[in-house]
Chains A and B, each alone.
Chain A
Amino acid sequence: MKFTIDWLKEHLDTKLKDNQIIEKLTDVGLEVESFEKVSSDLDNFKVAKIINAEQHPNADKLKVCDVDIGEQNTVKVVCGAPNAKKDLLTVYARPGSVIPKNNMKLTVSKIRGVTSYGMLCSESELNLSDESDGIKELKSNKYSDKVGKNFFKNNTEKVIDLSITPNRPDCLGVRGVARDLAAAGVGKLKNISNMKIKNSETQKIKVSITKDKNQGCTIFGSCLIKDVTNKESPKWLKDKIISLGQKPISAIVDITNYVMLDLNRPLHAYDSDKIDKEIIVRNSEKGETFEALDNKKYKLDNDMCVISDKSGVLGLGGIIGGTRSGTEFNTKNILLESAYFLPRSIRKTSKLLNIDTDAKFRFERGIDPQSIEIGLDKAAQLITKICGGKVSKFDVQSIRKIKKNKIKFKISLFEKIAGFKIKDKEVIKILIDLGFKVSKKKSELELTIPTWRPDITQPIDIVEEIVRIKGYNNIKILEPEKNKIKDTLNKQQKLFHFLQRSVASKGYFETVTWSFTDSKINNFFKENYKEIKIVNPISSDLDVLRNSIFPNLAFYLKKNLDRGFRDISLYEIGPIFKDNKPGEQLTIIGGIKSGKISRLNWNEQNRLVDVFDAKKDTIQTLIEAGYDRQSLFIREKSPSYYHPGKSGSVYLDKDDIDPVAYFGEIHPNIIKKLDIKTEALVGFEIYLDYLKDKKLKLKDSKSKFQFSDYQKSDRDFAFVVDKNFKAQDLIEIISSIDQSLIKSVKIFDVYEGENIPKDKKSIALNVTIQSEEKTLEESDLEKINKLIISTVETKSGAKIRS
Chain B
Amino acid sequence: MSDIKKLKDEFLHKLNAALNIESINQIKSELFGKKGKISNSFKNLGSLPTEERKKFASDLNFVKDELQEKINKKIQEIEIKEINSKLENEKVDVTLPERNIVQGKIHPVSQVIDEISSIFSEIGFSVEEGPDVENEHYNFTALNTPDNHPARDMHDTFYLDDKKELLLRTHTSPVQVRTMLKGKPPFKIIAPGRTYRSDSDQTHAPMFHQVEGLHIDKNVNMGHLKGCLNYFIKSFFEVDKIKMRFRPSHFPFTEPSAEVDIGYELKDGKIVIGEGDKWLEILGCGMVHPNVLKNVKINPDKYQGYAFGIGIDRLAMLKYGINDLRAFFETDYRWLNHFGFDPLDVPSNYRGLSR
Contact = CB atoms under 8 A, between A and B. Distances in A.
Contact of A468 (B104, B107, B230, B248): B248
Interface in B58-116: 96-97, 99-100, 102-107, 109-110, 114
Nearest to A600: B100
A731 interface: no
Given A493-B127, A569-B104, A488 B121 contact: yes
B126 A489 contact: yes
A478 interface: yes
B135 interface: yes
A334 B186 CA distance: 63
A510 B148 contact: no
A601 to B, nearest CB: 5
A644 B348 CA distance: 44
A585 B127 contact: no
Contacts of A599: 100
Nearest to A563: B333
A568 B287 contact: no
A565 B333 CA distance: 8
Interface in A354-413: 364-365
Interface residues of B, number: 92
Contacts of A507: 102-104
Contacts, number: 264
A604 B250 CA distance: 63
Interface string A51-80: 000000000000000000000000000000
A383 B112 CA distance: 61
A533 to B, nearest CB: 7
Contact of A504 (B106, B290, B304): B106
A467 B337 contact: no
A538 B164 CA distance: 16
A623 interface: no
A580 B161 contact: yes
Contact of A601 (B97, B161, B186, B289): B97
B223 interface: yes
A461 B255 contact: yes
A478 B131 contact: no
B27 interface: no
B188 interface: yes
A31 interface: yes
B321 interface: no
Most chain B CB atoms below 10 A, which of A167, A461, A537: A167
Nearest to B162: A535
A509 B335 CA distance: 10
Contacts of B258: 472
B141 to A, nearest CB: 14
Question: Helix, strand, loop or mixed for chain A's interface?
Answer: loop
B236 to A, nearest CB: 14
Contact of A480 (B100, B126, B135, B227): B227
B98 to A, nearest CB: 9
Interface in A760-801: none
A336 B245 CA distance: 46
Nearest to A538: B206
B329 A488 contact: no
Interface residues of A, number: 100
B200 A538 contact: yes
Contacts of B340: 509-510
Interface string B212-234: 00000001011111111011000
A485 B186 contact: yes
B18 interface: no
A475 B160 contact: no
B223 A478 contact: yes
Residue of A417, A458, A493 contacting most chain B CB atoms (<10 Å):
A417
Contact of A165 (B129, B249, B334): B249
Contacts of A552: 331
A479 B133 contact: no
Nearest to B290: A460
B226 A477 contact: yes
24 contacts: A28-B248, A29-B248, A166-B154, A167-B250, A418-B223, A420-B223, A460-B255, A460-B256, A463-B256, A464-B248, A484-B126, A485-B126, A485-B187, A505-B104, A508-B104, A509-B336, A510-B340, A513-B329, A513-B331, A534-B168, A535-B159, A535-B161, A581-B166, A601-B100
Interface of A: 26-29, 31, 165-168, 343-344, 347-348, 364-365, 416-420, 458, 460-461, 463-464, 467-468, 472-473, 475-490, 493, 497, 500-516, 532-539, 542, 545, 552, 556, 559-560, 563, 565, 568-570, 573-575, 577, 580-585, 597-599, 601-604
